[in-house]
Every structure is written in C-alpha cells, then in structure tokens.
C-alpha cells in the first residue's frame, strides 16, 4: 500500500481540479471549450483524446465524474501504488483513443470513460489476481459501482456509451495484463 490516503489522492485531485477549473472558466467567461472533445475519425477530433475528460456538459455531469475519480483513483493509488500510474494512464489514453477510432460521429466529452476504466479494473483485477485483499477490493467496488455494467449499453443518445464501453474494455484488459505482476502495492 502507498504511504497515506492523502498521497494516493494527489493524481486524482489534480485531474479533478483541472476539470473544475475548466468548468468554472467556461461558465464565468461564456467559453464553449467542449468543442475540443473527441470527434471520432477526424483530425480535429484527435486533440480530444487528451482534452475531452476536462469538459463536461453541466454541473451534474461534472459531479458524477468527480466523485468516482476521487474515490476510485485514490483507492487505485493506495492499494496498487506500483501499477497505479499505468492503470490510470491506460484508462485515460487508451479509452479515449478507442472512442476516437470507433465511436459514432458526435462530440464526446467528459471523464466517464476514465471512471469506467478504473471501475472495471478494480472489479476484475481481484478476480484475475485471486489474492484476498484484491478480491475484497473487487467486491467493495462492485457493491459501490456495480451499476456500471448497465452503462456500457446504448441508451440516452446524449450519453457517450461508447466511452463507457471503451473504458470497460480497457479496464478489463489492463486487469488481465497486470494481474500476474508480483508487486502491485
């Protein structure tokens, strides 16, 4: 385990700080920065791979991504400190890359793909690793975020279920590829 919960929260808090800063700046100055989201298979939309998680449609959207990033991200770095950065990077970068390559033509914004990547990693890592602590973390994550399984299906056309599905696939594949690491915390 990492030294403290506080030190494990640094990376998630930095991302959340930037997300809130962007949201405040957009609303105070009337900017429309969400145009820099992921627009699949366009040169213009490539920048969204890096920027899309910073932009949110409204306050509820922002809050619904803030809480899980703080909880799941901090738990990731606390319990899996040695692999935490790799998991966080994959959940961020590869999820958004998959969305850019395969999603429907729309402007995809928000950090829910990252949330899904982290949640699915935390759920499946314990299953593949099979040690008592990882299994307990999987069970707790499943109890708190078991509803993520429904989010990977198409529903509301205003919600990027493709980001959810991509995050789930990245989370599961990351859990599989890192489950045999000897030292994870």
Dihedral angle over CA of 24, 7, 83, 40, nearest 10:
0
The per-type count for the chain, helices as H runs and strands as E runs, is 9, 0
Q: What is residue 160's three-state secondary structure?
A: coil
Q: Is residue 162 part of a domain?
A: yes
Please list the pLDDT of the chain residue by residue as tens digits (185 residues).
547 888 999 999 999 999 999 999 999 999 999 899 999 999 999 999 999 999 999 999 999 999 999 999 999 999 999 999 999 999 999 999 999 999 999 999 999 999 999 999 999 999 999 999 999 999 999 999 999 998 998 988 899 999 999 999 999 999 999 998 877 87
Give the number of other Cβ atoms within 10 Å of residue 181's Cβ: 12
Q: Is residue 62 part of a domain?
A: yes
Taking the whole predicted model, whether its pTM rises above 0.75 is answered as yes
pLDDT of residue 5: 86
Q: Is residue 184 part of a domain?
A: no
8 A C-beta contact, residue 118 and residue 73? yes
Residue 100's CATH number:
1.20.1540.10
Measured CA distances, 14 to 11, 17, 73, 156, 181 (Å): 5, 5, 11, 30, 27
Q: Cα angle at 88 between 147 and 55, to 5 degrees?
A: 75
Q: Is residue 32 part of a domain?
A: yes
Q: Which domain holds residue 139?
A: 5-178
Q: Is residue 42 part of a domain?
A: yes
Instruction: Tell which residue, 119, 93, 95, 109, has the closest CA to residue 158.
Output: 109
The two tokens of residue 75 are: 């738990």
Q: Is residue 185 part of a domain?
A: no
Q: Is residue 36 part of a domain?
A: yes
Number of domains in the chain: 1
Q: Is residue 183 part of a domain?
A: no
């Amino acid at each position: 385990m990492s030294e403290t919960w506080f030190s494990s929260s640094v990376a998630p808090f930095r991302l959340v700080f930037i997300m809130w800063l962007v949201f405040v700046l957009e609303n105070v100055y009337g900017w429309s920065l969400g145009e820099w989201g992921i627009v699949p298979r366009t040169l213009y939309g490539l920048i969204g791979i890096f920027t899309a998680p910073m932009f949110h449609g409204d306050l509820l959207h922002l809050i619904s991504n803030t809480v899980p990033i703080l909880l799941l991200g901090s738990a990731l770095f606390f319990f899996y400190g040695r692999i935490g950065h790799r998991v966080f990077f994959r959940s961020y970068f590869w999820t958004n890359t998959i969305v850019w390559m395969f999603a429907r033509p729309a402007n995809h914004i928000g950090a829910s793909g990252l949330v899904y990547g982290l949640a699915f990693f935390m759920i499946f890592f314990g299953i593949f690793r099979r040690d008592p602590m990882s299994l307990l973390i999987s069970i707790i994550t499943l109890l708190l975020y078991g509803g993520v399984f429904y989010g990977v299906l198409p529903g509301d056309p205003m919600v990027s279920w493709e980001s959810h599905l991509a995050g789930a696939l990245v989370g599961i594949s990351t859990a599989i590829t890192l489950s045999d690491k000897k030292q994870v915390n």
